[in-house]
Amino acid sequence: MPSPLYNTASIADMRLRARRRLPRAVFDFIDGAAADELTRMANEAGFARGRLSPRVAVDVSRIDTSVDILGFRSALPLMLAPTGLAGFYWPDGEIAAARAAAKAGIPFCLSTNSVASLEAVAGAVPSVKRWFQLYMLKDRALMWDMVERAEAHGYDTLCLTLDLAVQGRRDRDIRSGFTVPMKLSSASIADFAMRPRWLWGALRRPVAFGNFASVKGLGALSVAQFVGTLFDPTVDWAQVAEVRKRWRGPMVIKGILNPDDARRCVELGAQGVIVSNHGGRQLDQVPASIEALPQIADAVAGRAAVYLDGGVRRGTDLIKARALGADACLIGRPFLWGLSAAGEPGVDRVIDIFREELAIALALLGHPVFSAIRGDILVP
Ligand SMILES: Cc1cc2nc3c(=O)[nH]c(=O)nc-3n(C[C@H](O)[C@H](O)[C@H](O)COP(=O)(O)O)c2cc1C
């Protein structure tokens, strides 16, 4: 039987489906970004630049979309990015997304700020290639405990996010009064009442920060208050080096936009960097990820892996990112839109859209092997 999502043609279509199911404040928390959202828009618009040069008369009967991601043969050059509160958009959302990633043969990165705890996800989806994303916490005992829990539960790569020393100022969330859990007001009650299917799920699985179960009395906080209470704004390179020393597996540093910072990451022993502006959610007016990528790839110079996220919406975006130096990309909002629209089948569909778009693009470019793509595929 065809999936009821078969006529959801694109990631943009999936976004509209998510908008129909989610309360406005929740949709805006996912969709929105800092200030005027110029960087969020530039992330997507950046991929519209440059053209791909097709070759003809090439045998494209076998397409290979797979890539090596730190020793794992990923079926696609794609990972599910760490995103907080996935279980708020769909009951057990982190587990649904991890299952979809496992089926597709791509890595899944669990956020520090997940609703399901890292133990719950590992227990429910033992087969997924899992990364754990860490924020530096003020309470180092709590942080090292989380790191040890992640290691003990089979998260083999640590993704340390460094672009959230403080929370960015997101106008949409300030306007809606978004808190976790949501505070009830006449506006939020009216918003929820319009979305009974979401509300039913949210009532069955109350939202909480699953990895912080030991921290009592957090109450209904805005995400900015949560970050201000728990996250450490004093982090410097020495403290990053300390994390590198204590974590035994591969470590990837996320939130890099500057080539000198990328060099520092490599020097302190990171196996990869993620070129990212947090989907434009932190500081507006910083470069689009795809604009920052070439300089960072040059600075890293093959000494570590280079990944990119921000604005990846099409199979051809994966090809452009590869041409400009990325080994693979991560997606944040696209899979959250799929999750919010339809749960696990929604995430399956999002990954399928990328798979189909990528395979068709590789065939029509006369480049059957994704990993063989070089810069010369791009024309200005
Ligand atoms: C709702 C939401 C929550 C996020 N939470 C986290 C997080 O907890 N940790 C993190 O490192 N990045 C987080 N991010 C950023 C993503 O990992 C990623 O950098 C970003 O979404 C990529 O841009 P895209 O949404 O355009 O794909 C979040 C993004 C969104 C949209």
Beta-bridge partners for 177: none
Please give the Cα distance from 271 to 341 (Å, whole number). Answer: 35
Peptide bond into 181 cis (omega under 30): yes
Please identify, by atom number, the ligand 1 atom nearest to the C-alpha of residue 112: 8
Is the pLDDT assigned to residue 160 strictly greater than 80?
yes
Cβ of 288 less than 6 Å from ligand 1: no
Q: Please write the tens of the pLDDT for every residue from 82-114.
A: 999 999 999 999 999 999 999 999 999 999 999
> Residue 166 C-alpha to ligand 1 middle, in angstroms?
15
Cβ of 133 less than 6 Å from ligand 1: yes
The predicted structure's pLDDT at residue 219: 79
The residue whose C-alpha atom lies closest to atom 7 belonging to ligand 1 is 83
> Residue 303 C-alpha to ligand 1 middle, in angstroms?
26
C-alpha radius of gyration, the chain, whole number: 20
Please identify, by atom number, the ligand 1 atom nearest to the C-alpha of residue 40: 26
> Residue 278 C-alpha to ligand 1 middle, in angstroms?
5
Please give the Cα distance from 189 to 184 (Å, whole number). Answer: 6
Cβ of 333 less than 6 Å from ligand 1: yes
Q: Look-up: residue for tokens 């995103």?
A: 83
Please give the Cα distance from 220 to 131 (Å, whole number). Answer: 28
Contact 79, 276 (CB under 8 A): no
> Residue 281 C-alpha to ligand 1 middle, in angstroms?
8
H-state helical runs in the chain = 11-21, 24-31, 38-46, 86-89, 93-104, 118-124, 140-152, 171-176, 186-193, 196-204, 223-230, 237-246, 259-267, 289-300, 315-323, 333-342, 344-365
The residue whose C-alpha atom lies closest to atom 1 belonging to ligand 1 is 30
Annotated catalytic, 153? no
The predicted structure's pLDDT at residue 210: 95
Is the pLDDT assigned to residue 142 strictly greater than 80?
yes
Q: What three-state secondary structure class fits 240?
A: helix
Please, which residues have CB within 8 angstroms of residue 2's CB and are 6 or more apart in sequence? none
Please give the Cα distance from 189 to 185 (Å, whole number). Answer: 6
* pTM for this predicted structure: 0.98
Is the pLDDT assigned to residue 1 strictly greater than 60?
no
Catalytic residue among 15, 278, 349, 367: 278
Contact 106, 79 (CB under 8 A): yes
Q: Please write the tens of the pLDDT for every residue from 206-226.
A: 899 999 999 988 878 888 899
Span 335-339, average pLDDT: 98
Look at residues 42, 12, 51, 7 and name the one whose alpha carbon lies nearest to residue 361: 51
What pLDDT band is residue 73 in, cutting at 50, 70 and 90? Answer: very high
Look at residues 83, 112, 110 and name the one whose alpha carbon lies nearest to residue 98: 110
- Give residue 74's Cα distance to chain centre: 16
Beta-bridge partners for 306: 273
Q: What three-state secondary structure class fits 290?
A: helix
Cβ of 252 less than 6 Å from ligand 1: no
> Residue 221 C-alpha to ligand 1 middle, in angstroms?
19
